[in-house]
Amino acid sequence: MKKINLIIALVLFITLSAQNSGETRFGVTGNFHRGSIVNVHDRSVGRYGGTLGVLAEIPILRSDISGGEWLFFVPQIEYSMQGEHAKANVGKYDRQKFNHDYIAAQLYIKYFFHPNNNLSDYFVFLGPRVEFLVREDRQVSALYDADHFKFNHDDELNNIGIGLSVGAGARVTDDLEAVLRFDRGFSKVYPNNTNGVTYNRQLSVGVNYYIRNNR
């Protein structure tokens, strides 16, 4: 919990410090995604979930001709429903559910395309991601564990994960953006599993809505 509070405090410090700039925007973000844990559960079908969070958009560079900003720093913090479900011999074991919820933070660099200094509505973004496990809901039968533990070794979860988040989007209106995003973890989800690197990944479609616009 102390580490979660630390990352929240860091993001808040960055965003509140940016209030000195009249051009900083604050907003809410949400998405719908399909996630999974790689290299562990047989017959994985992933897990569909959602994400809800807050973000700030802080200008870094602007066009000399159009005057519009094209490079931003975007800190973002969110609640994310992750994990996966599996269908290994459902008739014998029932459906297996490995639900993991995280508080996650990303620090993005966001780039708007601006050919010939003409600012477009299309952008890409990239940044590191850190996630903290806040909820685990494991729903599997004892028989499944007895038969599959020697392969899965999923009795222990890492509480912290790091990764990379990348995406692209388009500005729909001055306050609304549509976003496509991919997150890929680099740290092990199950530290006791030595059969491979068991990392999180997810593909999402979402929106950013800015509720404060000081431009």
Q: What is the structure's pLDDT at 26?
A: 96
Helices (H) and strands (E) in the chain, counts: 3, 8
pLDDT in tens, 7-16: 556 555 555 5
Domain boundary assignment for the chain: 2-212
Cβ(105)–Cβ(129) below 8 Å:
yes
Beta strands in the chain (DSSP E): 25-37, 44-62, 69-86, 96-112, 122-139, 160-171, 176-185, 200-212
pLDDT in tens, 58-85: 999 886 666 678 999 999 999 999 999 9
CATH architecture of the region 2-212: Beta Barrel (2.40)
pLDDT in tens, 33-47: 999 999 888 878 899
